[in-house]
Amino acid sequence: MSRMLIQGGRVLDPACGHDGPADVLVEDGRILEVAPGIVARDAERLEAAGCWVAPGFVDLHVHLREPGQEYKEDIASGGRAAVAGGFTAVCCMANTDPVNDDPSVTDYIRDRARQDSPTRVYPVAAATKGLDGQVMSEMVALVQAGAVAFSDDGRTIMDSGMQRRVLEYSRLVERPVMVHAEDRSLVRDGVVNEGPTATRLGLPGNPAAAETVHVARDLLLAELTGAHLHVAHVSTAGAVELIREARSRGVHVTAEVTPHHLTLSDEATLGFDTNTKMAPPLRSREDVEACRQGLADGTLDAIATDHAPHAVHEKEVEFTTAPPGVIGLETAFAVVMELVRSGCLRPMQLIAALSSNPVQVARLPGGLLKRGEPADVVVLDPERSWTYDPLKGYSKSRNSPWAGRELVGRVVATVVGGDLVYHVDRGALLP
């Protein structure tokens, strides 16, 4: 019997509505008790004085790059980056090589994760074969192999009839369809948000309408089919408003937003830093504010990193040719803590957006600190400041807009299934 006592912290557990001082006793991988002043002399102790103790974070949107692009990231390195960021589970996107459109690939990812990753890994399977938007993937077989959702992320299903069929079939397997909503015919060769910043940079613009057009279409198709639509990485005020309105009339829609779209506007791109190039692009200040408001009022459910590792040689090129995307697992908590300090979110709302809400979106186990639940727990120091150096991080890649920045808020310890897998003073510990 193994026991751990997480002692002296402030427990923030949105699903149980619990905010207050308490100890957490873990036994054999599960939560045994949450209460103040627990005495357990035989237990391993994890000090949490001055810290928040919360359900482990769950990231709905990461790119682990394995199989096929292990020079950018693999399941082991991405898993270590995840636990260093407080994530006890991640959902990995299907745009690997080969694409995760076949149960053999889903099996491979799960096997590798079991052996090599300290975080739990839930594969998201492709909605269409080869992500080409032409032939639907075999959803039943993929779910049987362990897929938790469907997405052609990185691409958008442009054919509305195909999107309708994907949504219809997703109902049979009761799994969400996660959409990367960007109309390719509107994006064209746009690499930054269309507007004054693009003009100043002399770079081709990607209009906000490229996103809102597809969010509008997909909300209508979700309404038509009754399926669960999940909008990935919302970046525009228009999309937030459309989602808010659709929810109010009962459409089954959930949505996520990234730390970068919550905190950086397109002005961050004025220095031509390719680590500010994403898809969708960083948007206007008004869009950033709308995303923050959407998270605060519950229109957007989850914060997801869209962790997208790329090698140095790929990013150190002209802005127009660099691949879009940034890493984000190890900085997410510190970056979004700014929303609490600025009064946009209460601590409990922030924790919900990182843990219990994403668990509900993807229908995963856990997400709460209740007796009998898996002991996936994170200990956080909301005040601790640190300077982020990607070279000292666990991701194989370094493409972060926060490199060299001083951040406030630090993950102190991460526990997965009762095992201490990361401690800020000891590093990643398992496997």
Contacts of 264 by beta carbon, 8 Å cutoff, 6+ apart: 276, 282, 288, 401
- Which candidate, 358, 293, 370, places its Cα nearest to that of 86? 358
Tell me the residue number closest to Zn ion, measured at CB: 180
Kindly name the residue from 59, 102, 218, 306 that is annotated as catalytic: 306
3-state secondary structure of 119: coil
CB of 375 to Zn ion, least distance (A): 32
Contacts of 114 by beta carbon, 8 Å cutoff, 6+ apart: none
From the list 49-57, 146-154, 195-203, 241-249, the region that binds Zn ion by CB under 5 A is 146-154
- Which candidate, 242, 221, 237, 228, places its Cα nearest to that of 162? 221
Does residue 253 contact residue 231 with C-beta atoms inside 8 Å?
Answer: yes
| 285/265 Cα distance (integer angstroms) | 5
CB of 104 to Zn ion, least distance (A): 24
From the list 45-53, 73-81, 147-155, 409-417, the region that binds Zn ion by CB under 5 A is 147-155
Q: How many CB atoms lie within 10 A of CB 188?
A: 12
Is residue 218 near Zn ion by the rule CB under 5 A? no
Q: Which is nearer to Zn ion, 81 or 232 (CB)?
A: 232
159 is catalytic: no
From the list 75-83, 153-161, 341-349, 376-384, the region that binds Zn ion by CB under 5 A is 153-161
- Mark residues 165-204: x for contact with Zn ion by CB under 5 A, - for none: ---------------x------------------------
Q: Which is nearer to Zn ion, 276 or 414 (CB)?
A: 276
Q: Which is nearer to Zn ion, 72 or 180 (CB)?
A: 180
From the list 101-109, 148-156, 345-353, 378-386, the region that binds Zn ion by CB under 5 A is 148-156
What is the 8-class DSSP label of residue 262? H
Q: Which is nearer to Zn ion, 255 or 411 (CB)?
A: 255
- Which candidate, 227, 407, 232, places its Cα nearest to that of 302? 232
Buried b vs exposed e over 222-251: b needs ≥16 C-beta within 10 Å?
bbebebbbbbbbbbbbbbbebbbebbeeeb
Is residue 152 near Zn ion by the rule CB under 5 A? no
Q: Which is nearer to Zn ion, 180 or 398 (CB)?
A: 180
Q: Which is nearer to Zn ion, 261 or 423 (CB)?
A: 261
3-state secondary structure of 198: helix
- Mark residues 88-107: x for contact with Zn ion by CB under 5 A, - for none: --------------------
- Which candidate, 92, 120, 116, places its Cα nearest to that of 106? 92
Is residue 153 near Zn ion by the rule CB under 5 A? yes
Q: Residues touching Zn ion: how many (CB under 5 A)? A: 2
Residues involved in catalysis: 306
Interface with Zn ion (CB under 5 A): 153, 180
